[in-house]
Structure 1
Amino acid sequence: MLKNRVSYAECTARERIALVLDADSFVEWLPPSARVTSPHLAQLGVPTSFDDGVAIGRAHLDGHAVFVAAQEGAFMGGGVGEVHGAKLVGLLQRALRDRPQAVLLLAESGGVRLHEANAGLIAVSEVMRAVLDVRAAGIPVVTLIGGANGCFGGMGIVARCTDHIVMSDTGRLAMSGPEVIEASHGVEEFDARDRALVWRTTGGKHRYLTGDCDALVEDDVQAFRAAAIEAVGRPAASRPLTLQGLEQEHAALAARLQAAGTDPEALSLWARLGILEPARIPEIGAAAVRLLRPSVSAALAA
């Protein structure tokens, strides 16, 4: 089985679409042949991509009609600009009209492109609003995170606005990236070169244990496919957009902040949450980490 494993992190955006979705079911909208590129990058003399770093379209997942967007981390780190964001918004708005079974976001992004910062910031806010509109219409939005660039900045916020997040144990999710934190607050606050620290803080295992993602899988496209199928089959009301749901989310965040205490380092937090050998977490597989979540959730709820 290990011989047949294909690393999700090492795939391109279109390879992920081809391997996660049903074979030959993807129909792309605004493909590279349409040559819809960012006007801002051209004005700055920066190389462009004919799809502006994101592939969007319709496909099938286990026979269910879905809409899908996959960000290409190899182009500007999956950064969001005006055209990139507009493609995401258009996909979500079309979902309101055509009502697929679900919308899948295969997220890989460092956030907004600095080259077109204002346009990118506006685009991210529009994506967030569109995600919430789709969810309010009863169409689940599922995010898959497992690319080498992680999911940071505005796309980190977008991911947390969706119904269901699937991460690999090597995936990363956060608002500010490690380099951004170090640049703004100093290496004493966060050493971006400390890879173990980065993954303990933003990695899939930590996000799963603390409730920021709903499913943790190995770095394998078939594991992502199976988790996506399960997520699409969940009722959209499992995380309803209601005042009560928002209050529950705030209560969970408050409990986590209290548990963090004065030493929020992940190893210390895991120990306070009842994990007996927290130093082993980075070494064990996703299946073993999944077994720990019930006890951690109980500790946070206590």
Structure 2
Amino acid sequence: MSSYIESTARERIARLFDAGSFREFLPPSARVISPHLAQLDAPVSFDDGVAVGQAFLNGDKVFAAAQEGGFMGGAVGEVHGAKLVGLLRRAITEPVDAVLLLMETGGVRLHEANAGLIAVSEVMRAVLDARHAGIAVITLAGGANGVFGGMGIVARCTNAVVMSEQGRLAMSGPEVIETASGVEEFDSRDRALVWRTTGGKHRYLLGDCQMVVADSVAAFRQAAIDAIAACRRQSTALTLDELEHEQAMLGERIDRFGAMTDPLEIWSALGVEQPDAIAMLEASEFVAAVGAHRIGGR
């Protein structure tokens, strides 16, 4: 069993999709790199930290993007974002069964500032346009760097989010919160607290992700197959009804848990038995144990 978190972006692509089926758009040989990094004498990557292309998954034609956490934490710059946007736009003109985003990113690349922020906003719009065109967009989050910043918002704009416990999803990273609000607000060195707050189990219980899987590429592959099948059974478009459902869910969360300071309190309030034991459960055991206690997702 190969670990998802320990794999590189290209290793995930090679093992997750049907063998030998990935065909890359703008491969490293094209040497499309960030002009901003070169101007700053910063290291560059010939794929700018993201591989995009076409593959087959259990026979289904899909487009895929895999962010490389080993290059600047998977952060998004102008070229990186443009590759994601181009992939999503191409999915509309060259229909596929789904677009899979293998996210691992700290958010916007600070070296590129406004260019990175604009890129993330364009990715967000492209995701919604793809969904409007009937193309399912699915996020897989299990990398060591998590999914933070504007890309955390992008992930929640997709049809479904699949996470491992080791994956993390949030708007602001622990270090950012600590820097802005102080260690009393959030201690980024408390790893148990970090994973309780941003990890896959908590996000599943809150309705922010639809599947929690074990840390293996095989588990993510099967979850992606299942997610595509689920999207076929329902509309992929972002409708007014879905937005209202999402807003109601967020309102419920604030009303019920707004005054709580630790996820353990939330898990207990949800009716989860022995919330202290949650961290020790394997993914399948966790899903079985929490049952219907999670807040209804999208």
Q: TM-score range by the shorter chain?
A: over 0.9
Helix, strand or coil: the match of 1:219?
coil
Structure 1 unmatched ranges of 5 or more: none
* Equivalent runs, 1:134-149 vs 2, <5 Å: 134-149=130-145
Deviations 1:258-289 (A, max 9, x none): 22142231001111111121111111111121
Structure 2 unmatched ranges of 5 or more: none
Report the Cα offset of residue 240 of structure 1: 4.2
Deviations 1:41-79 (A, max 9, x none): 000110100000000000000001000000000000000
Q: Which residue in the other structure is 2:149 paired with?
A: 153
Taking a change above 3 Å as real, the CA distance of residues 158 and 246 of structure 1, as seen in their structure-2 partners, is same
The equivalent position to 1:185 in structure 2, one of 181, 200, 203, is: 181
* Equivalent runs, 1:114-263 vs 2, <5 Å: 114-235=110-231, 237-238=234-235, 240-263=237-260
Q: Which residue in the other structure is 2:64 paired with?
A: 68
2: CA distance, partners of 1:180 / 1:262: 21
Percent identity between the two aligned chains = 64
1: CA distance, partners of 2:270 / 2:157: 26
How many aligned positions are there?
296
Report the Cα offset of residue 238 of structure 1: 4.7
1: CA distance, partners of 2:16 / 2:82: 24
Report the Cα offset of residue 297 of structure 1: 3.3
Runs of 4+ in 1 over 6 A off after TM superposition: none
2: CA distance, partners of 1:292 / 1:242: 32
Aligned partners of 1:72 and 1:108 also within 8 Å? yes
Q: Which residue in the other structure is 1:103 paired with?
A: 99
Helix, strand or coil: the match of 2:129?
helix
Helix, strand or coil: the match of 2:7?
coil
Amino acid at match of 1:256: R
Q: Which residue in the other structure is 1:296 paired with?
A: 293
1: CA distance, partners of 2:294 / 2:52: 36
Aligned partners of 2:134 and 2:236 also within 8 Å? no
1: CA distance, partners of 2:198 / 2:211: 15
Q: CA RMSD in A?
A: 1.3
2: CA distance, partners of 1:225 / 1:292: 23
Helix, strand or coil: the match of 1:233?
helix
Aligned partners of 1:67 and 1:100 also within 8 Å? yes
TM-score by length of structure 1 reads 0.95
1: CA distance, partners of 2:16 / 2:47: 20
Aligned partners of 1:173 and 1:203 also within 8 Å? yes
1: CA distance, partners of 2:27 / 2:173: 30
2: CA distance, partners of 1:17 / 1:112: 23
Deviations 1:62-103 (A, max 9, x none): 001000000000000000000000000000010010010100
TM-score by length of structure 2 reads 0.97
Helix, strand or coil: the match of 2:294?
helix
